[in-house]
């Protein structure tokens, strides 16, 4: 049976949040490596990217919550 667009959207929103969280963990690891290499500038940019990803996840979660009655 083919899923409706609504069902697909619900699945995608959950997947995107999980996917972003996985990448966030990897970003944190590499931010620490950049810092250890003395590249605080790179570390700071990666940390900013992590924060933006968390913000994006907040919006994705809010969107997901609006789909469920």
The answer to the question of residue 51 being in a domain is yes
pLDDT reported for residue 46: 97
The domain total for the chain is: 1
> 32-45 pLDDT, tens per residue?
999 999 999 999 99
The answer to the question of residue 20 being in a domain is yes
The answer to the question of residue 3 being in a domain is no
The answer to the question of residue 22 being in a domain is yes
| Residue numbers of the domain that contains 59 | 14-67
What are the counts of helices (DSSP H) followed by strands (DSSP E) for the chain?
A: 2, 0
The answer to the question of residue 5 being in a domain is no
Helices 5-36 and 40-67 cross at an angle (nearest 10°) of 160
pLDDT reported for residue 65: 95
Residues of the chain with pLDDT under 50: none
User: What percentage of the chain exceeds 90 in pLDDT?
Assistant: 93
pLDDT reported for residue 62: 97
The answer to the question of residue 55 being in a domain is yes
The answer to the question of residue 42 being in a domain is yes
The answer to the question of residue 38 being in a domain is yes
């Amino acid at each position: 049976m083919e899923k409706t667009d609504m069902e697909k959207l619900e699945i995608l929103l959950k997947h995107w949040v999980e996917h972003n969280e996985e990448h966030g963990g990897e970003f944190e690891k590499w931010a620490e490596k950049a810092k250890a290499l003395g590249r605080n500038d790179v570390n700071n940019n990666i940390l900013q990217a992590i924060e933006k990803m968390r913000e994006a996840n907040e919006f994705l979660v809010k969107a997901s919550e609006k789909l469920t009655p």
